[in-house]
Chain A
Amino acid sequence: MRETVISIKDITKRFGDFTAVNNMSFDVYKGEIFGFLGANGAGKTTAMRMLCGLSYPTSGSGIVAGYDVMNEGERIKRHIGYMSQRFSLYNDLTVWENMRLFAGIYGLSSKETQERSMDLLNELNFTSSKDALVGSLPLGWKQKLSFVIATIHDPEIIFLDEPTGGVDPITRRQFWEMIYKAADKGTTIFVTTHYMDEAEYCSRVSIMVDGVIKALDTPMCLKQQFGVQTIDEVFRILARDAKRGGQ
């Protein structure tokens, strides 16, 4: 049996009358790339925010990185990295200053920060842009930098919310190479995406419709189960009945 790093049971989030996430349960194993698919408005981001300790579940229970999502949110935060859908590094700070800030927040010493940042910048071939203001970087670079900063403290799980939205195909490819590299080192990746080709790269994929997980398996098994050739087709079959998100 593989080690479980996320284990969610019957998690629900309501905003007033609206149930964004309804009785969701699943497990994520150590070192896998877990694809979290769903149409716009299906509740992906809401679910992810609950796992990251940014939002309280209305009911249900769950363990992330060994801590309870209900009341150990701050402990979870020490063990995860998070890259938001919206670019959220400081545009008015340089690449290096952003790295120093987040490394410092996670308690890395000056020396550790220096070493770790240099390694990461070298990996990205970014060393020359160390002192560039983040706001002046092209989108693809910003996204890669966000990823790198989300991993600066070597977290056990990295949550990526549509990391490749609006990014060119070459950068997307590089981005997925980075994801694979992190997963090879044993980091668990939890990723949402709208690109169905990216879903094919995942170890397992869940497809969410209207706040509920409709399917969860390896891409191969899902395609067999629905008797189709691509994840894209699986997604279309499931999302057809969606009431939310304007479909």
Chain B
Amino acid sequence: MNYITMRTFIVLFQKEFLQIKRNSFLPKLIVAFPILVMLLMPLIMTMDVKNVNISIVDMDRSSVSRRIMSHIEASDYFTLKQETTEYYFAMESLTKGDVDVIIMIPNDFEQDMMMSVPKRISIVANAVNATKGGIGMQYAIQSIMYSLKELRGERGPINVSDIITVENRYNPTLNYRHYMIPALMIILFILICGFLPALSIVGEKENGTIEQINVTPVSRFVFTLSKLVPYWIIGLFVLTIAMLVARLVYGLAPLDSIGAIYFGAVLFILTISGFSLTIANFSETMQQTMFVMFFFIMVFMLLSGLLTPIDSMPEWAQRFTLILPPRYFVEILRSIYLKGATIAELWVNFAALGLFAVIFNSLAAITYRKRV
């Protein structure tokens, strides 16, 4: 960079920060928004299931069945709503919605267990609320397993080989918050480093001030950069706030280096801001920008594995996610936060983000037209 380019960049950068500072709304948003999102959303958007209503159909009436029942009763996750010997009654409660999960312990379960292969315990869940039903069933299995293991310990080896082992790795408590927090950080980036620079450019178009800039010899590269750099800095500031909240409020600290997170964040911020500037270059009004950005944000939030796992998407949709930048960053964040992965292990994700950053920022600089 020669002297004039440097000087041009500095004055433009200064101007951008002054404008953000003078705005009656932006500085507050930049500080309050990440704190609020990080504090409130994880509390609300929880998929932890509590108060699963259980009905136990105990046909065995043995010490084993009582043991299972007392475990269920003792658990925070379950409310023992009904205890019966008739499957019919339990089913009726399930239909009415009074209970979410039925556990049925068959006749002579204890006796068979001592002798040979026992009859299976059956678990029926109301899957209208798929999450509650599914997770409730998981919990029930775990609770029963626990009871049976205890019994095995007490009574010597018994045959429970065909009962599946369920184990949750990396997020041992299946804490949905730990899964959500990286996603929330990404949503913050998309809003602050994506929306704001786009609106700032289109705002200049609407005010006509961009015309005064276009008639000067400032290069489109320098102008674009001066629009982006302030939001990169703000983005990293927001990341720091979000990480602090995650650490202090939820006790969630990255298992591996914080440096790797910042590196990934820089790449992602570059990508998303370049992307939004490209959109701004094609828009004439704020409404247009907002609408187009919103469309892409929906796609990013719903399809890149922020809220729902990519693995459970249809095959074609999984392939589609490969072109969505947030997909790579969410994987980086989750792997570092929950698994303690390193940059070397995640190099594909970092490389993909780097590639997107180059593509979108080049597009932003190329599609910015000083002349029509």
Contacts and interface: CB of A to CB of B under 8 A. Distances in A.
Interface string B156-185: 000000000000000000000000000000
Given A74-B370, A104-B8, 9 more contacts: A56-B372, A74-B217, A78-B217, A84-B215, A86-B208, A91-B207, A93-B19, A102-B212, A108-B7
Interface in A65-99: 73-75, 77-78, 80, 82, 84, 86-93, 97
B115 to A, nearest CB: 84
A88 B15 contact: no
A77 B3 contact: no
Interface stretch (A28-36, A47-55, A212-220, A234-242): A47-55
B209 A90 contact: yes
Nearest to A92: B22
B10 interface: yes
A245 interface: no
Interface string B196-211: 0000000000011101
Contacts of A77: 215-217
B8 A105 contact: yes
A105 B214 CA distance: 11
B12 A101 contact: yes
B215 A92 contact: no
Interface string B1-38: 00110011011101100110011000000000000000
A56 B370 CA distance: 10
Contacts of A226: none
Given A97-B15, A104-B7, A105-B11, A88 B208 contact: yes
B4 A107 contact: yes
Contacts of A92: 18-19, 22-23
Nearest to A87: B208
Contacts of B217: 74-75, 77-78, 105-106
A107 B216 CA distance: 11
A107 B212 contact: no
Interface string B204-248: 000111011111111100000000000000000000000000000
B371 interface: yes
12 contacts: A53-B215, A53-B370, A54-B372, A77-B216, A88-B208, A90-B209, A93-B18, A101-B11, A101-B15, A102-B216, A103-B11, A108-B7
B208 A84 contact: yes
A54 B214 contact: yes
A54 B7 CA distance: 23
Nearest to B23: A92
A82 B372 CA distance: 17
Nearest to A75: B217
Contact of B212 (A55, A74, A88, A103): A88
A125 B19 CA distance: 26
A109 interface: yes
Interface residues of B, number: 28
A100 interface: yes
B18 A54 contact: no
Interface string B53-90: 00000000000000000000000000000000000000
Contact of A54 (B8, B14, B22, B211): B211
Q: Is chain B's interface secondary structure helix, strand, loop, or mixed overall?
A: helix
Nearest to B15: A101
B372 A55 contact: yes
Interface in A166-196: none
A73 B371 contact: yes
A88 B215 CA distance: 11
A120 B11 CA distance: 19
A52 B215 CA distance: 7
Nearest to A91: B207
A90 B216 contact: no
A157 to B, nearest CB: 12
Given A53-B215, A78-B217, A89 B11 contact: no
Contacts of B207: 88, 91
B18 A82 contact: no
A55 B371 contact: yes
A109 B208 contact: no
Contacts of B371: 53-56, 73
Contacts of B211: 54, 84, 86, 88
B7 A107 contact: yes
B359 to A, nearest CB: 25
Contact of A104 (B11, B23, B370): B11
Contacts of A93: 15, 18-19, 22
A185 to B, nearest CB: 21
A246 B209 CA distance: 29
Contacts of A89: 209, 212
A86 B210 CA distance: 11
Chain B CB within 10 Å — which of A53, A93, A103, A107 has the most?
A: A107
Interface string A21-65: 000000000000000000000000000000011111000000000
A101 B9 CA distance: 10
A230 B3 CA distance: 51
Nearest to B220: A74
Contacts of A109: 7
A101 to B, nearest CB: 5
Contacts of B219: 74
A98 to B, nearest CB: 9
